[in-house]
Amino acid sequence: MMKRIYLAGPGVFYPDPVAEGHRLKELCSAFGLEGVFPMDADLDLSQYSKQAGARAIYDANINLIQSCDGIIADMQPFRGPGMDGGTAFEMGFAKALGLPVVGYGSTDTYLERSRQFYGGLHRVGADEVDDTGLTVEDFDLPDNLMMACAPEMVVATEEEALAWFKRHFE
């Protein structure tokens, strides 16, 4: 039976999320894996209030993750220097289930992206801080340490993540 891989990431916010899901699923298929996109639940949100719709999406995505053998997580910066919060949650949930997680899409460090995002940081002792005085962590990782240390590995592309899973399941 083909291994199922949940496709976590901000692709659901793309101008054409269905096309993005299709693209990722085809890529999974090329690696002998079944891609599972968050929108696969095919919810009709018109029947829900906004909050009830949010809960329906949450429940559907939890069920989809539970039906999978692992997840790849698009860790690209999303609306700031860090990754999408929903993707981070899905990674943590998958880890709690004992599923393997591979991140991709972030090749520079969180500190480098924070410097760019804020137009520079301020030095306070050995630390760099943002305009509010909060320290920006510097571990030479692609995101906050909790997200960067959770996956088995973080690679540059979807293809590298899927290749890891293909090897992992052989």
Query: What pLDDT, in 10s, does the model give residues 39-84?
Result: 999 999 999 999 999 999 999 999 999 999 999 999 999 999 999 9
CATH 3.40.50.450 location in the chain: 4-107+143-169
- The full 3-state SS of the chain, as one line of letters, equals CCCEEEEECHHHHCCCHHHHHHHHHHHHHHCCCEEECHHHHCCCHHHCCHHHHHHHHHHHHHHHHHCCCEEEEECCCCCCCCCCHHHHHHHHHHHHCCCCEEEECCCCCHHHHHHHHHCCCEEECCEEECCCCCECCCCCCCCCHHHHHCCCEEECCHHHHHHHHHHHHC
CATH architecture of 4-107+143-169: 3-Layer(aba) Sandwich (3.40)
Spans in the chain with pLDDT lower than 70: none
Please tell me the predicted confidence (pLDDT) of residue 77: 96
Q: What is the pTM of this model?
A: 0.95
Residue 88 has which token pair? Answer: 């981070």
Distance (Å, whole) CA 31 – CA 159: 8
